[in-house]
Chain A
Amino acid sequence: MSLNKIEAARSLRIRSTQDFAAGLFMLALALLALFLSRDLPTGTLRQLGPGMLPKSFAVICAGLGLLLSANSLRYNGEKLTGFSWRGVFFVLGAACLFGLTIRGFEIGPLKVPALGMLVSGPIVVLVSGFAATDVRPKELIIFAAAMTAGCALMFKYALSLPIPLAPWLLGI
C-alpha cells in the first residue's frame, strides 16, 4: 500500500515544463486583465457594460491556463528551453532606439532632439547586428550606410512618406 502511495506521488510531477509554464503565463495574463478591468461596470445581459467581455474573456483564459498546467502534470510534452536574451536585448533594443530617436523624446531630464532616419536607420542596423554571434563590425557599418541610403531614397523620395530624414541638419 505504501508502495502505491509513492507511485502516486511520483506520477504527480511536471511532465512538460513548457505546458506548465504556458498555463501559468495564461493565468498571469488573465489575472492582470481582471485587475485592470476591476472598476469597469459589468452591466446586465440586456445592456452589456464595458467590463462584461474583458472580464468573461479573462476568466476563460484563467480557466484554460489552469487546465493547461494541470494537463502538464498528466501528459508528457516539450521541455522549456533556454531563452537567448542576447537576441531579445539587441533586436528589440534597436527597435526601441529607433522609436525614441526618430522624432526625439523627453523623459524627465533626458532630452533627445528629433534625429531623423539618417541617424535612426544606422542605429537600428548597427545595434541589432550585434544580436548575431558571427557579427562583423566593418561589414555591418558599410551595410548600415547602404541600407539607410536605400531606405531614404525609397521611402522618402520614391514613396514620399512623411518621415523625417535629418531635421537637425537638413531641416527635413
Chain B
Amino acid sequence: MTEMFANLGLGFGIALTLKNIALCFVGCLVGTLVGVLPGVGPVATIAMLLPITFGLDPVGALIMLAGIYYGAQYGGSTTAILVNIPGEATAVVTTLDGHQMAKQGRAGVALGTAAIGSFVAGCFATLIIAALGAPLTRLALLFGPAEYFSLMVMGLCFAVVLARGSILKAFCMIMLGLLLSTVGTDLETGQERMTFGFPPLADGVDFAVLAMGVFGFAEVLRNLENPEARDVVRSKIGRLLPDWNDIKQSTAPVLRGTFIGGILGILPGNGAVLGPFASYTLEKKIAKDPSRFGKGAIEGVAGPESANNAGAQTAFIPLLTLGIPPNAVMALMVGAMTIHGIIPGPQVMTKNPDLFWGMIASMWIGNLMLLVINLPLVGLWVKLLQVPYRLMFPAILIFCSIGIYSVNNQPVDVIFTALFGLFGYLLIKLGFEPAPMLLGFVLGKLMEEKLRQALIISRGSFMTFIERPISAGLLVVAVAILVIALLPSMSKKRDEVFTE
C-alpha cells in the first residue's frame, strides 16, 4: 500500500511539471476537437494525431497521447448526446437516453453528468491501475511463451464473443486480421511473405495505415452513403451542473458503472466495449420504473458513461503489465510507444518507472482536465457540430492524409491507406465489424513469435500448452466462453444486450 502511494507520488511528480500539464491539456483539447466530429472514433482520432507527438520525449508523448485518448472518448460522448451519432461502439448506449435528455432541453445536464461520472470513474480506475500494476507485473514475469500464446488466444476468443453482430463474422474478422499480420518479412528466416515482391510491404502492413483506412476513410465513405441524418440539438443546452436531485439519482449508477466497466476493461480482448452495455442493462433492471429508460433517464447516461471511462482506463492494464493490447486503441499506443523506443510489457515498469507512473498519474490529470475544458467549451462543440458534412469530411481527409504521411514520411502509405479504405468499405457493405480484425492483426505477430518460441522449447509438442497449468487454465477459459456464447439461450441474450 505504501509502495503504491510512493509510486503514485513519483508519477505525480513527473506529470505535474508545467510542460507535462500543458501537453496533457493540449492532448485533451485536440482529442476532443477531433473526437467530436461525427463518425470519427477514438481509433481514427489517435491515428490522425499520432504524428503530433513525434517531436516530444517519450514521457511527454505518452502523456499527450493519453490525453488525446480521453479527449476522443469524451468527444464521442458529446456527439452521442448532442447529435445522436455514436463515434464508436461504446457510445451507442449514451445516445439512447443522452440524446433524449438533450431534446428535453437538458443537454447541459447530460454532458455535465457524463463528465462528472467519467471523472469519478477515472479516479477509481487510476487507483485500480496503480494497485494492480505491480502485482500483475510480477505475475507477468512467470509467463513463458506458452502462457503468452494461450493468453492471446483467450483474448481473441473474448473479442469474438464481445463483438457486435454475428459470431461467425467476428471470427472471420479475427482470422483475417491474423492473416494480414503475416504479411511481410518472416522474423526468423528473413523470407518475404505475401508481399507481391513490393518493397514497401517488406516490413508488413503498418498498423496506423490499416487503422486509418478501415476506421477513417471507410467511415467517411459509409457516412457519405447514408444521407445525412444529423439531428443537432436545436433547443437550449441549459445549465451544465446537475442539481441535487440529479446527483442523488446518478451517484449509485456512477459507482456501479465504474465497478462494472473497470472489471470488464481489464479483460484481454476488448472487454471495455461491453461495460456501457452491461451497465445500462443493469440500471434498467434494478430501476423502480424501467419505462423511463430511453426517454431521458439520467441513470442511463451516468452509469454507461462511467463504465465507458473506467473501462477505457483499465484497458491500459493488460498493455502496461503484459504488453498485450486488449483493443485497437491500445494497439495504437503500442505503435506510439515503439516509435519512442519503448516496448510495452512487464519490463516497462522496472526499466522506465518514470514513464509508467508518470502516465498513470497523467490519466487522473487528464480526467480532471476534461472536466475543466469541456464544460466551458460545450458551446464551441455545438458550433463545430453544425458544420455541414460536405465540409467536414474533406477536412477529415486532409488531416488523415497529412497524418499518415507523417508517420513514416512515406507518400506510398497514403495510397495504401486509400486501398485499405476501399477494403474497409467492402467489409462494411458485407456486414463485417472491423474492430476484431484490428485486434487479430495486432496480436498476430506477437502470437506467431510466442508460438514458435513455445514449440522450440517443447521440441515441437503442442502438449506444452495443456501441460503448463497457467496456460491450460487460460485455454479452458477461452473454450468455455466460446461454448457459452454459442449456446442457443446465451446467444439470444447476447443479441439482446447489444440491441438494447
Residues of the A chain whose Cβ atoms lie less than 8 Å from the Cβ of B179: 29-30, 33, 54, 57-58, 61
**Contact A163/B462 with A26-B172, A61-B175 known, Cβ cut-off 8 Å:** no
Closest chain-A Cβ to B417's Cβ sits at a distance in Å of 6
Residues of the A chain whose Cβ atoms lie less than 8 Å from the Cβ of B418: 92-93, 95-96, 99
Residues of the B chain whose Cβ atoms lie less than 8 Å from the Cβ of A129: 390-391, 394
Does residue A7 face the partner (Cβ distance < 8 Å to B)?
no
Contact with A along B435-470 (1 / 0, CB 8 A): 000000000000010011001100111100000000
Contact with B along A41-55 (1 / 0, CB 8 A): 000111111110110
**Contact A68/B194 with A57-B179, A88-B422 known, Cβ cut-off 8 Å:** no
Q: Are B397 and A29 in contact (CB under 8 A)?
A: no
Does residue B480 face the partner (Cβ distance < 8 Å to A)?
no
**Contact A159/B168 with A49-B189, A103-B411 known, Cβ cut-off 8 Å:** no
Does residue A135 face the partner (Cβ distance < 8 Å to B)?
yes
Within 8 A of A (CB), among B176-212: 176, 178-179, 182, 186, 188-189, 191, 193-194, 196
User: CB within 8 A of A68: which of B172, B221, B417?
Assistant: B172
Q: Are B411 and A91 in contact (CB under 8 A)?
A: no
Does residue B139 face the partner (Cβ distance < 8 Å to A)?
no
Q: Are A19 and B431 in contact (CB under 8 A)?
A: yes
Q: Are B448 and A53 in contact (CB under 8 A)?
A: yes
Does residue B339 face the partner (Cβ distance < 8 Å to A)?
no
Q: Are A132 and B389 in contact (CB under 8 A)?
A: yes
Residues of the B chain whose Cβ atoms lie less than 8 Å from the Cβ of A18: 429-431
Assembly CA distance A71 to B220 (angstroms): 31
Assembly CA distance A40 to B186 (angstroms): 10
Residues of the A chain whose Cβ atoms lie less than 8 Å from the Cβ of B422: 88, 92
Does residue B372 face the partner (Cβ distance < 8 Å to A)?
no
Within 8 A of B (CB), among A44-86: 44-51, 53-54, 57-58, 60-61, 64-65, 67-68, 71, 77-78, 80-81, 83-84, 86
Residues of the B chain whose Cβ atoms lie less than 8 Å from the Cβ of A86: 224
Q: Are B417 and A83 in contact (CB under 8 A)?
A: no
**Contact A22/B431 with A45-B455, A48-B455, A92-B421 known, Cβ cut-off 8 Å:** yes
Residues of the B chain whose Cβ atoms lie less than 8 Å from the Cβ of A57: 175, 178-179, 182
Residues of the A chain whose Cβ atoms lie less than 8 Å from the Cβ of B451: 48, 53
Contact with A along B387-424 (1 / 0, CB 8 A): 01111011101111110011001011111011101100
Residues of the B chain whose Cβ atoms lie less than 8 Å from the Cβ of A153: none
Assembly CA distance A80 to B224 (angstroms): 17
Does residue A136 face the partner (Cβ distance < 8 Å to B)?
yes
Q: Are A151 and B398 in contact (CB under 8 A)?
A: yes
Closest chain-B Cβ to A134's Cβ sits at a distance in Å of 6
Assembly CA distance A120 to B398 (angstroms): 9
Q: Which secondary structure dominates where chain B touches chain A? A: helix
Q: Which of B55, B186, B421, B432 has the most CB of A within 10 A?
A: B186
Q: Are A159 and B398 in contact (CB under 8 A)?
A: no
Within 8 A of B (CB), among A98-156: 98-100, 102-103, 105, 117, 120-121, 124-126, 128-129, 131-132, 134-136, 139-140, 143-144, 147-148, 151, 155
Does residue B497 face the partner (Cβ distance < 8 Å to A)?
no
Does residue B287 face the partner (Cβ distance < 8 Å to A)?
no
Within 8 A of A (CB), among B208-233: 217, 220-221, 224-225
Does residue B25 face the partner (Cβ distance < 8 Å to A)?
no
User: CB within 8 A of A163: which of B171, B389, B391, B406?
Assistant: B406
**Contact A64/B168 with A87-B224, A95-B417, A163-B406 known, Cβ cut-off 8 Å:** yes
User: CB within 8 A of B182: which of A53, A96, A147?
Assistant: A53
Closest chain-B Cβ to A169's Cβ sits at a distance in Å of 19
Residues of the B chain whose Cβ atoms lie less than 8 Å from the Cβ of A83: 429
Q: Are B176 and A29 in contact (CB under 8 A)?
A: yes
Does residue B158 face the partner (Cβ distance < 8 Å to A)?
no
Assembly CA distance A47 to B202 (angstroms): 22
Residues of the A chain whose Cβ atoms lie less than 8 Å from the Cβ of B411: 98-100, 102-103, 105
Residues of the A chain whose Cβ atoms lie less than 8 Å from the Cβ of B398: 98, 121, 124-125, 147-148, 151
Residues of the A chain whose Cβ atoms lie less than 8 Å from the Cβ of B406: 155, 161, 163
Among residues of A, the one whose C-beta sits closest to the C-beta of B415 is: A99
Q: Are A160 and B414 in contact (CB under 8 A)?
A: no
Assembly CA distance A140 to B388 (angstroms): 12
Q: Which of A22, A80, A117, A134 has the most CB of B within 10 A?
A: A22
Does residue B486 face the partner (Cβ distance < 8 Å to A)?
no
Among residues of A, the one whose C-beta sits closest to the C-beta of B462 is: A45
Does residue A171 face the partner (Cβ distance < 8 Å to B)?
no
Q: Are B175 and A125 in contact (CB under 8 A)?
A: no
Among residues of B, the one whose C-beta sits closest to the C-beta of A124 is: B398
Q: Are B390 and A134 in contact (CB under 8 A)?
A: yes
Contact with A along B153-179 (1 / 0, CB 8 A): 000000000000000110110011011
**Contact A61/B176 with A80-B429, A99-B401 known, Cβ cut-off 8 Å:** yes
Pull 13 A–B residue pairs with CB atoms less than 8 Å apart, ordered by A: A21-B430, A48-B452, A57-B179, A84-B225, A91-B217, A91-B221, A96-B414, A99-B414, A125-B398, A151-B398, A151-B402, A155-B402, A161-B54
Q: Which 4 A-B pairs have the closest CB atoms?
A: A46-B460, A99-B414, A50-B186, A132-B390
